[in-house]
Amino acid sequence: MSGRSRLSVRRARAGDVAGVAAMRRALLAEHADDRIFGRLRRDVGRRNLGAVRAALSQDDRLVLVAAAGAALVGTLECAVARNHALLTSEHVGYLSAVYVRPSARGRGVLTRMVSMAERWCRARRLTELRLHTGANNPLSNVVWERLGFAVAEHTRLRAIA
């Protein structure tokens, strides 16, 4: 489908809501075994569409899509997130909902989306990008290292019920 089509990266538009939501569902499906992201609500479809619509309407959020012809093959969200109140840099850029369709992987789609998000953050005078990765997602850990994201903290979880 999108294997050899020319790729472009742009800001998502209202008409992309369903396509972005579908990629976010595909991302969750690929992480069904994840200790955190495997716990889906029953109404995940409705909530997912609402979350994408909301993100598209907020000035402090950037939703990107990568397109190959008419098909959407990648997405990434970047939000202006508040930093710890006692620390310098009041806000940081926070990346999430990152997904590239298998057919388009390894062609620099993520690299291009991160570059665009970085420019968007620099324009807002943000000095840092952050994100979380799953502990059991070795591919994403390799990829983010390649893109210059070092591990800065670990999230620990203990179920109490």
Ligand X SMILES: CC(C)(COP(=O)(O)OP(=O)(O)OC[C@H]1O[C@@H](n2cnc3c(N)ncnc32)[C@H](O)[C@@H]1OP(=O)(O)O)[C@@H](O)C(=O)NCCC(=O)NCCS
Q: Are strands 61-68 and 7-11 parallel, antiparallel or unpaired?
A: antiparallel
Task: Decide: is 30 part of the binding site for ligand X (CB under 6 A).
Answer: yes
The span of 5-13, 35-43, 78-86, 99-107 binding ligand X (CB under 6 A) equals: 99-107
The span of 1-9, 35-43, 82-90, 103-111 binding ligand X (CB under 6 A) equals: 103-111
Task: Decide: is 98 part of the binding site for ligand X (CB under 6 A).
Answer: yes
Task: Decide: is 111 part of the binding site for ligand X (CB under 6 A).
Answer: yes
Applying CB under 6 A, among 18, 32, 36, 142 the residue interacting with ligand X is: 142
Q: CB–CB of 10/73 below 8 Å?
A: no
Task: Decide: is 22 part of the binding site for ligand X (CB under 6 A).
Answer: no
Report in angstroms the alpha-carbon separations of 42 from 13, 30, 108. 27, 17, 34
Task: Please classify residue 86 by burial: count the beta carbons closer than 10 Å to its beta carbon, then call 0-12 exposed, 13-18 middle and 19+ buried.
Answer: exposed
Q: CB–CB of 80/93 below 8 Å?
A: yes
The span of 10-18, 48-56, 81-89, 139-147 binding ligand X (CB under 6 A) equals: 139-147
Task: Decide: is 109 part of the binding site for ligand X (CB under 6 A).
Answer: yes
Task: Please classify residue 73 by burial: count the beta carbons closer than 10 Å to its beta carbon, then call 0-12 exposed, 13-18 middle and 19+ buried.
Answer: buried
Q: Which residues bind ligand X (CB under 6 A)?
A: 27, 30, 98-100, 105-111, 133, 137, 139-140, 142-143, 146-147
